[in-house]
Amino acid sequence: MLFNTNAKLGALSGLVSGVLLGVLLQVFAIKTPAGSRVILMEVINPMSGSNSLLLGWFFYLFDSILMGAIFGFLLGTKALNFKSGLKYAFLCSLGWWILGGIFFMPIFLGLSIFSPQSLEPIQPVALQSLIGHILFGLIFGGVFVALKGKTRKPEMREIHREADRSRFKAS
């Protein structure tokens, strides 16, 4: 039951984080090797199998929800406070960047694995992708821990507060 609750909280946290970061992806543009400018959300579209911006958003939010649910299922019990939640979400965001930004995205775009790091024209995109994944992870970790704290019973909240205070005094 606990894993199920953490997976649900992770999915909701992933949705919130995905919407917040998705707005940034929609607003900011990058310069292509050809010299034109394209919004970052349009870079995600080919991975959805379509050129539709709406389908790109659905794909991106589904991916955010899935990443959140996996985090909640695997690491939700370890994210006990903001420090641990941010730490584990940050590490997961790096892992997702490696899987998504270095392996899957190049394949979906018809490029070779590691091409974001080896092809000079798209290196800035790889760096922006890394920054985006880290931002997602930090937002996600904060939202996850905040939601997790809201779902605890009041007596459990006090136990966790006392544990956090004693850890803080010990350090």
Q: Which two tokens stand for residue 37?
A: 């400018």
| pTM, to two decimals | 0.77
What three-state secondary structure class fits 89? helix
Is 70 exceeded by the pLDDT of residue 135? yes
Q: What is the mean pLDDT of the chain?
A: 82
Kind of pairing, strands 37-39 and 29-31? Answer: antiparallel
Is 80 exceeded by the pLDDT of residue 10? yes
Is 80 exceeded by the pLDDT of residue 146? yes
- Interval 115-129: pLDDT, tens: 666 666 667 677 778
Tell me how many domains the chain contains: 1
Task: Provide, rounded to the nearest whole percent, the portion of the chain with pLDDT above 70.
Answer: 77
Residue the block writes with tokens 């019973």: 153
Give residue 165's domain range.
Answer: 2-170
Distance CA 21, CA 43 (A): 14
Distance CA 90, CA 71 (A): 11
- Interval 69-88: pLDDT, tens: 999 999 998 998 999 999 99
59-73, 104-118, 135-149: least confident range: 104-118
Is 90 exceeded by the pLDDT of residue 112? no
Is 60 exceeded by the pLDDT of residue 17? yes
